[in-house]
Amino acid sequence: MILDDARKQVVTMLDDPDGQRWTLPPPLSLFDVGNEVDLAIQSAAVECVSAYVHQGGDFFDVIKNITTDNDGTYSFTNEAAPNVPMMVESCSYRQGDYFYSLHAVRHQDVQVSLNEVVDLKVKVVYTPDFAGSALGGGDQMNYSQIVGGQVVPWAMFDMWVCSVAAKQLTPKENEANSQLDDKVSMLSSACLRAPDQPKTVIFPRQQHYLNWGPSLYRWSYVTRDSSVNKTCCLRIHKVRIY
């Protein structure tokens, strides 16, 4: 959905299509402190994506190959916005043509630091960030990173975001709006029940490593790592062998 269309949809849901109470912002005040409509859309996008992802939805997953720095760390904030992970779902170690799935550990459980460059494949969900992506009024809203130069549309989800944004703005007049409440509930239910892809998979079997070395690696993620002066930092570790 185009941002300008989302704004109009929000005020329409508020029974204020003329913008008498919620004035639509001018083009140059995107996500300004006084821009209530855009701020509500941004907040609603984070709320809806978070709810969908934590229900197990995979529509906003991004799979990408990354290479760590010499200290075995990688900062997602070096990427284009949105670049703050909401969830790092998986991490695989690449060795030649093979990928080996790695187990995760909490940073406080790290045993051995890794000081080498590592090639990885990660699956991550980003926190929607319209302001950080320099979104204009005539641009498409996208809740994740753009891949292949295309935005994958989901009209039902757009409407859910708009309805939640409208719901956030209703306290301004403190008016009961059962129709809007029903719309939020209906759209939420429709989106949260969207099936993951593929729906079924083969039962996992014991993995036999062609090379046992990758089985010793672990990964962790922290938002702030002052030891390497990085934010949104993925780190690769090795298991200590006694």
So where are the chain's domains? 3-193+212-238
166 vs 200 pLDDT, higher one: 166
Contact 67, 120 (CB under 8 A): yes
The pTM of the full predicted model, rounded to 2 decimals, is: 0.84
Residue 70 half-sphere exposure toward CB, CA atoms < 13 A = 0
Q: State the DSSP code for 196.
A: P
Query: Is 206 a residue whose pLDDT tops 60?
Result: no
Please give the residue that has the higher pLDDT: either 132 or 193: 193
Cα(61)–Cα(89) distance, rounded to whole angstroms?
9
Q: What is the pLDDT of residue 149?
A: 81
pLDDT value of residue 203 = 63
Q: Residue 195 — pLDDT band, cuts 50, 70, 90?
A: confident
Identify the residue with better confidence: 211 or 4.
Answer: 4
Average pLDDT, the chain: 84
Residue 156: is its pLDDT beyond 80?
Answer: yes
Q: Higher pLDDT residue, 60 or 227?
A: 60
**pLDDT score, position 240:** 65
